[in-house]
Structure formats: structure tokens, C-alpha cells
Amino acid sequence: SYVVYPSEIFMNVLEDALQRGVKVDILLDANVDDARDKLEKLIKKHKHLSFYRRKDNEERMHAKTIVTDKTACVITSANLTEHAMKKNMEAGVYIKGGEIPRKLHDHFASLIYTNILEVY
């Protein structure tokens, strides 16, 4: 997400997933250091949570995507903010099955593997 402001709803859903052992990787834009600070407690508490950012830190990461188990994905205009979820008019598509979720996952994995994205 380009912008992440961890609301209570977001934090509850994230905490629940992490307690179930779900591995969560979040790619943040370089300009959202405050989000990482707010999530620091979860980082220390859960080994399944990682944050990434672009290594060069110069270009913006504007994509808003969620990929689950290489089998489903959401591609949306919405940032991970309560305002976006409750007040904005956003649009997105949910794709289950087929090649697109796997290809999207593999794309982000290759960005990590080639060090274009780094642990934040």
C-alpha cells in the first residue's frame, strides 16, 4: 500500500491473522515511516510479520494489492486506511484462481530476491 494508517479494525484483523500463524509481508512506500512505528509491537511479537520497502527509496510504490497463498488476490485503488475503507469511493477486483494471483505473488517475490525490495 502507498499509505497505511493502522486503524483499530486493521490492527484487529492483522493480529488475528498473525495469531493463526499467517505469514504477512507488507510493502510500504518510503514516505510512511509512521505506519511502521505504530506496528512495531506486532513486529516484535510475531515472527510471521515482515515489512519491505524499495531499496533505492526514490520511486514511489503506488500499487495496492493483496495476494493470498498464490491462489487469490485483490487489486484495488484503496490504501490500507480506515478512511479508504469507510468513506472513499474506491474500486477493486478480486481474482480467485488462475494465473494472475500466482504471477503477482511471484513478481513481488522476485523483487525481494533481487534486492529491489529490502526488509524495512
- Convert the pLDDT of each residue in 23-43 to its tens digit: 888 887 765 566 666 677 777
Q: Indicate the pLDDT class of residue 57, thresholds 50, 70 and 90.
A: low
Nearest to 7 by CA among 83, 82, 85: 82
Q: Which three cell numbers stand for residue 17?
A: 491473522
User: What does the alpha-carbon distance between residue 87 and residue 22 come to, in Å, rounded to a whole number?
Assistant: 28
pTM for this predicted structure: 0.77
pLDDT above 70 for 111 = yes
Helix (H) or strand (E) holding 110: helix 99-113
54 or 97, which is more confident?
Answer: 97
2-6, 7-11, 50-54, 79-83: which range is least confident on average? Answer: 2-6
Q: How far apart are CA 78 and CA 96, in angstroms?
A: 19
Concatenated DSSP letters of 5-17: E--HHHHHHHHHH
